[in-house]
């Protein structure tokens, strides 16, 4: 009996500080390091503002997108697990970097605490406005006639792996042109200096509607609800399946559970605000909020899948 009482008292002693942490948090500014640029960063800044209003403390966003987001990810992997430094990252830093580099300074499972998925990015394939490539069948035919150059937001990104998978599915040869600034893909397409490129919907759609460039396909599993007439890449290239392309929030490893739950709740609350659906749609993101456990499962699913893509495509590991 005494053993049971002691165990109950010990559990209560553990639970009390955790409850106090949850009740007190936050008592100062919270920093969100974003390893995602462009529209993803824009979404984060709006969510951070709404979180700050709800939590009663400022929530600021700091952009650290270098090395496919791994610079920002490493900052949070080394931060104190107190809830005042969290990461907004994508598959680039949390999945692909790990299977493409021998020297990644963090472990995506051990060094982070999953908080919540936020969204899937809507990716597109674009060409210059005057291009003879009107669809993915044209794309494949032109690639078979010789090397076709395609631009992306960098080596080891979802866009890069999309190009590699496309080569395998269509049995074609493409030449990769990586850019440090993702917006340069659209710039080069508009100028006619690049034959084709992968980009984010929110970055390219305005240029598409104004006639400056042309989107020929959606690089997702399904057509995008905002542009139902645009086919997917897979519709024109049988056997093609796009690689994962999600964004989500993480804390440093061993982040206390009450803080994880509080942040998860605040992220969901901010994302579900009445004005947010339109913002997600405009920027080309599909909201995919999750529990921390669901984000854990996504990581464990996508890491071996990414490793297989790299092996099948014979992408050099640096």
pTM of the model: 0.88
Rounded CA-CA distance 41/62 in Å is 9
Rounded CA-CA distance 153/117 in Å is 22
Correct CATH for 123-236 of 3.40.50.720, 3.20.130.10, 3.30.70.270, 3.40.190.10: 3.40.190.10
Among the listed residues 106, 201, 97, 105, the one whose alpha carbon sits nearest the alpha carbon of residue 154: 97
pLDDT by 10s per residue, the chain, length 318: 444 445 444 444 554 454 445 568 999 999 999 999 888 899 999 999 999 999 999 999 999 988 888 999 999 999 999 999 999 999 999 999 999 988 899 999 999 999 999 999 999 999 999 999 999 999 999 999 778 999 998 888 899 999 999 999 999 999 999 998 888 999 999 999 999 999 989 889 999 999 999 999 999 999 999 999 999 999 999 999 999 999 999 999 999 999 999 999 999 999 999 999 999 988 889 999 999 999 999 999 999 999 999 998 888 887
Among the listed residues 296, 286, 287, 305, the one whose alpha carbon sits nearest the alpha carbon of residue 250: 296
Q: Domain 28-121+245-312 in CATH: superfamily?
A: Bordetella uptake gene, domain 1 (3.40.190.150)
**In degrees rounded to 5, what are phi and psi of residue 133?**
-80, 110
What does the domain layout of the chain look like in residue ranges? Answer: 28-121+245-312, 123-236
Residue 16 has a pLDDT of: 43
7, 15 contact by CB (below 8 A) = no
Residue 25 has a pLDDT of: 97
Residue 190 has a pLDDT of: 97
**Do the domains 123-236 and 28-121+245-312 match in fold?**
yes
Residue 81 has a pLDDT of: 98
Rounded CA-CA distance 128/203 in Å is 14
Residue 250 has a pLDDT of: 98
């Amino acid at each position: 009996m005494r053993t049971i009482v002691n165990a109950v008292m010990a559990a209560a002693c553990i639970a009390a500080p955790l409850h106090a942490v949850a009740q007190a948090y936050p008592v100062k500014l919270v920093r969100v390091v974003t390893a995602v640029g462009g529209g993803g960063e824009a979404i984060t800044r709006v969510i951070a503002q709404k979180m700050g209003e709800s939590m009663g403390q400022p929530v600021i966003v700091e952009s650290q997108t270098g090395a496919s987001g791994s610079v920002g990810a490493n900052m949070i992997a080394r931060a104190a697990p107190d809830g005042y430094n969290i990461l907004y990252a994508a598959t680039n830093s949390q999945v692909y970097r790990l299977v493409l580099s021998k020297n990644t300074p963090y472990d995506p499972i051990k060094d982070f605490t999953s908080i919540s998925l936020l969204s899937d990015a809507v990716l597109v394939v674009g060409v210059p406005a005057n291009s003879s490539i009107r669809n993915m069948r044209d794309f494949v035919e032109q690639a078979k006639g010789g090397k076709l150059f395609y631009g992306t937001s960098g080596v080891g990104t979802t866009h890069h792996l999309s190009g590699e998978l496309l080569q395998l599915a269509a049995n074609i040869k493409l030449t990769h042109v990586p850019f440090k600034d993702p917006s340069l893909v659209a710039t080069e397409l508009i100028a006619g200096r690049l034959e084709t490129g992968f980009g984010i919907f929110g970055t390219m759609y305005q240029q598409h509607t104004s006639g400056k460039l042309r989107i020929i396909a959606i690089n997702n599993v399904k057509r995008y609800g905002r542009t139902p007439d645009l086919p997917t890449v897979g519709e024109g290239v049988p056997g093609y399946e796009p690689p994962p392309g999600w964004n989500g929030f993480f804390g440093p490893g061993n982040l206390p559970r009450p803080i994880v739950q509080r942040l998860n709740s605040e992220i969901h609350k901010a994302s579900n605000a009445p004005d947010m659906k339109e913002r997600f749609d405009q920027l080309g993101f599909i909201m995919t909020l999750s529990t921390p456990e669901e984000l854990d499962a996504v990581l464990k699913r996508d890491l071996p899948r990414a490793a297989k893509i790299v092996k099948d495509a014979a992408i050099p590991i640096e």
